[in-house]
Amino acid sequence: MRARIIVTLKSGVLDPQGEAIKNSLNALGFENINSVRQGKLFEIDIDEDDREKSLKSVKDMCRKLLVNQVIEKYSIELDDASKN
Amino acid sequence: MKSALIIFPGSNRDRDMIKAVKKISKKEPILVWHKETNLPDVDVIIIPGGFSYGDYLRSGAIAARSPIMKQIKQAAIKGVRILGVCNGFQILTEAGLLPGALMRNKSLHFVCKTVKLEVINNKSDFTAGYKKKQIINCPVAHHDGNFFADEKTLSEIEANEQVAFRYANGTNPNGSLNNIAGIFNKEKNVLGMMPHPENLIEKAHGGTDGRTLFESLLGVK
């Protein structure tokens, strides 16, 4: 199973990098931007075919290491690797 | 007083810290590699600054999951004094021994300069040598020192008098909420701070304001 984990800053947490990217986009002429928030993407190939078990395992990874829940939130997408 | 200094791959302020401890207490700290699963019986544990694991994932995140951290958590519960400076502070927050998180500096710049700190709580084994509201000098050198906690956590930190030091006189170098430069745990036996007191302990450093912290912590005076 392949998992894609998207980690972003919680709303209300200042994102100076996102702000700098927005300013740079503005300078390139993209003036229609309300805001930019930067995040992280993890792609994890798991040796497990069962969706439930995979999801449980990935959630555990998020809680224990991948995500700092003081400042970040996450979402998980699962793809059955054999179909790709 | 016996002390241990924890070293991770990428620690780089460990030598300054060893010298400070040795110079002030006249005793060598015991050096403990992060992969150790046994912690020597000590009164003080110090986590020095640096860039453990190259700041991969988040500053301090991977070091906070090292084998030795289990022992450090147990020592914290027993009341052993634990000091984390700079990357050491980031590691202590990532390990859950201190509240909040240290984010990228608001300016996005790495800051390396001397700032002013106000001593907010001097009722601790770390800060007893300072006067309350005393303004001291202290060097900072970091990229991720911007202290953040949600509103509820921040008000608890303030209510429990967990703020040890605040950046003073408009010298907040990183955008930290409430100008927080260093915080204790609730029990006041764990202190994390971004500034480097070990780099201001003798005249050749340009001042000795950091020395007082080590004298208190190591029971020298």
Looking at CA atoms only, how far is residue B25 from chain A in angstroms? 37
Report the residue count for chain B.
Answer: 221
Query: What ipTM was estimated for this complex?
Result: 0.86
Q: Is the minimum CB–CB distance between B208 and chain A shorter than 8 Å?
A: no
* Cα A7 to Cα B40: distance, rounded to the nearest angstrom: 38
pLDDT reading at A28 higher than 60: yes
Q: pLDDT by residue (tens digit) across B129-138?
A: 999 999 999 9
Q: Where are the alpha helices (DSSP H) in B26-147?
A: 68-78, 87-94
Domains of chain A: total: 1
Q: Do B61 and A65 touch (CB under 8 A)?
A: yes
pLDDT at residue A80 in the model: 82
pLDDT reading at A84 higher than 80: no
In sequence order, the 6+-apart residues with CB closer than 8 A to the CB of B151 are none
CATH of the domain at A32: 3.30.1280.10
pLDDT at residue A83 in the model: 55
Q: Which of B34, B86, B94, B138 is catalytic?
A: B86
Chain A residues lying within 8 Å of B100, measured CB to CB: 70
Q: Do B107 and A64 touch (CB under 8 A)?
A: no
Give the three-state DSSP class for B157. Answer: helix
Q: Which residue of B has its CA nearest to A20?
A: B108
Q: For domain B3-217, give the fold.
A: Rossmann fold (3.40.50)
Where are the extended beta strands (E) located within chain B? 3-7, 30-33, 44-47, 81-85, 101-103, 111-119, 135-142, 146-148, 163-167, 180-184, 190-193
For the segment B190-216, the average pLDDT, to the nearest whole number, is 97
The fraction of chain A above a pLDDT of 90, given in percent, is: 89
Show the tokens assigned to B13: 């302020």
* Cα B120 to Cα B134: distance, rounded to the nearest angstrom: 8
Q: Which residue of A has its CA nearest to B174?
A: A16
Question: Domain of A69?
Answer: 2-83
Q: Where are the alpha helices (DSSP H) in chain B?
A: 14-25, 68-78, 87-94, 151-159, 211-217
* Cα B170 to Cα A26: distance, rounded to the nearest angstrom: 30
Chain A residues lying within 8 Å of B104, measured CB to CB: 16-17
Q: pLDDT by residue (tens digit) across B103-130?
A: 999 999 999 999 999 999 999 999 999 9
How much is the pTM?
Answer: 0.94
Residue of A70, A71, A72 best to disrupt the B interface, most CBs of B under 10 A: A70
For the segment A18-23, the average pLDDT, to the nearest whole number, is 94
Q: Is the minimum CB–CB distance between B104 and chain A shorter than 8 Å?
A: yes
pLDDT at residue A82 in the model: 59
- Per the prediction, chain A carries an average pLDDT of 93
- For residue B61, name the pLDDT band (cuts at 50, 70, 90): very high
Q: Do B148 and A66 touch (CB under 8 A)?
A: no
Q: Is the minimum CB–CB distance between B148 and chain A shorter than 8 Å?
A: yes
pLDDT at residue A81 in the model: 63
For the segment A43-71, the average pLDDT, to the nearest whole number, is 96
Domains of chain B by residue range: 3-217
Dihedral pair phi/psi, residue B143, rounded to 5°: -110, -30
Where are the extended beta strands (E) located within chain A? 2-9, 39-45, 72-79
The fraction of chain B above a pLDDT of 70, given in percent, is: 100
